[in-house]
């Protein structure tokens, strides 16, 4: 990074530290923070979409649709998250490759399962072995987003379903009395009103999602925890230009500060959003705002 970093053996003090912290491996560590933020930025709305769809299905008057929605919520909420991260990613990856195998492979006489080994032709691999590294990274990231969204979408569905049930029935009946259709009542009354009831649960879910990002290493993504452990481990080999002892405590302390700061910022933003949504609502928060403004 710096010209004086050409010979690390001649460095000491802050100059050694400045060179050590600007190595290519450390830039991978810094980039992993952006990866986590990108994951949260994409996963949160995707999980909310999964949750909204699951809640809609769960409250559907059609029994088969309702059972699918309720089954999705119960199946995910009743199984430890780590099981989905270990099982679902493998199942999804193999399902994609098996489907592609049916269309691009010439020899379909050979089974894809040989005992416990899963095999498809090279052309059916996703991504292809000849693909550049960026496509492998993009595929891994997309798989992570889908898995996180599937798991946390079920929890969001449960929160949104409860919020929809919490909207006073009298408000919906008032809309119907004014001649609104069921679709208009849902879009203009139920959905706008439910957010104030859903926000506390969604806020907790957002904080849980932040804490769950270290599970990225289970999906083969080199996240901040991976690099903190890798960089902090003792490096005493003679081939290492920056030898040091076991510094993992310092790297994990940096992660601690990062997560605490990010959580605190989230709490401030969510608190202000709660106040905004509570204004004029027939809830405890809305009543407190009304009294404060009186």
- Comparing C-alpha atoms, which of 205, 195, 191 is closest to residue 266? 205
Residue 61, CB-side half-sphere exposure with 13 Å CA sphere: 1
Quote the pLDDT of residue 21.
84
> Could you read off the pLDDT of 223-239 as tens digits, one per residue?
888 888 888 887 776 67
pLDDT at 289 over 80: no
Tell me which residue has tokens 């990074």: 1
Whether 118 and 94 have beta carbons less than 8 Å apart is answered as: yes
Tokens of 211: 């804490």
pLDDT at 287 over 70: no
CA angle 6, 12, 14 (to 5 degrees): 95
Strands (E), the chain: 113-114, 117-118
**CA distance readout (Å), 270 to 196, 207, 211:** 12, 10, 16
Quote the pLDDT of residue 167.
86
Tokens of 250: 């310092």
Helix (H) or strand (E) holding 250: helix 248-278
The confidence band for 96, taking pLDDT boundaries of 50, 70 and 90, is confident
What the chain holds in terms of domains, given with CATH numbers, is 3-293 (1.10.3720.10)
Q: Work out the average pLDDT over 11-32.
A: 84
pLDDT at 74 over 80: yes
Q: Work out the average pLDDT over 189-218.
A: 87
Quote the pLDDT of residue 294.
44
Q: Work out the average pLDDT over 207-226.
A: 83
- Comparing C-alpha atoms, which of 195, 158, 186 is closest to residue 50? 158
Query: DSSP alpha helices (H): ranges in 105-190?
Result: 133-166, 169-177, 182-185
Q: Is 244 helix (H, G, I), strand (E, B) or coil?
A: strand
Percent of the chain whose pLDDT exceeds 70: 92
Q: Work out the average pLDDT over 56-64.
A: 90
């Amino acid at each position: 990074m710096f010209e004086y970093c050409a010979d690390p053996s001649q460095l000491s003090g802050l100059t050694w530290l400045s060179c050590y912290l600007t190595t290519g491996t450390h830039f991978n560590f810094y980039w992993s923070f952006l990866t986590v933020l990108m994951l949260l930025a994409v996963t949160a709305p995707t999980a909310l979409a999964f949750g909204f769809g699951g809640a809609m299905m769960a409250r559907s008057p059609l029994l088969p649709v309702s059972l699918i929605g309720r089954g999705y919520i119960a199946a995910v909420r009743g199984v430890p998250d780590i099981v989905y991260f270990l099982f679902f990613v493998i199942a999804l990856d193999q399902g994609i490759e098996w489907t592609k195998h049916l269309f691009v492979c010439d020899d379909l006489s050979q089974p894809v399962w040989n005992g416990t080994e899963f095999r498809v032709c090279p052309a059916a691999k996703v991504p292809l072995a000849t693909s550049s590294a960026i496509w492998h990274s993009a595929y891994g990231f997309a798989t992570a987003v889908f898995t996180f969204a599937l798991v946390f979408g079920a929890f969001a569905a449960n929160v949104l379903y409860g919020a929809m049930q919490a909207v006073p029935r009298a408000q919906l009946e008032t809309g119907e009395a004014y001649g609104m259709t069921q679709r208009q009542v849902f879009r203009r009354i139920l959905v706008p009103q439910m957010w104030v009831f859903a926000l506390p649960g969604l806020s907790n879910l957002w904080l849980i999602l932040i804490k769950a990002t270290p599970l990225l290493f289970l999906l083969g993504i080199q996240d901040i925890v991976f690099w903190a452990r890798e960089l902090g481990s003792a490096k005493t080999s003679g081939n290492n230009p920056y030898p040091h002892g076991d510094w993992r405590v310092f790297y994990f302390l940096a992660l601690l500060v990062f997560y605490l700061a990010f959580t605190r910022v989230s709490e401030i933003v969510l608190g202000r959003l709660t106040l905004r949504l509570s204004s004029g609502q027939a809830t405890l928060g809305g009543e407190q705002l009304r009294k404060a403004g009186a």
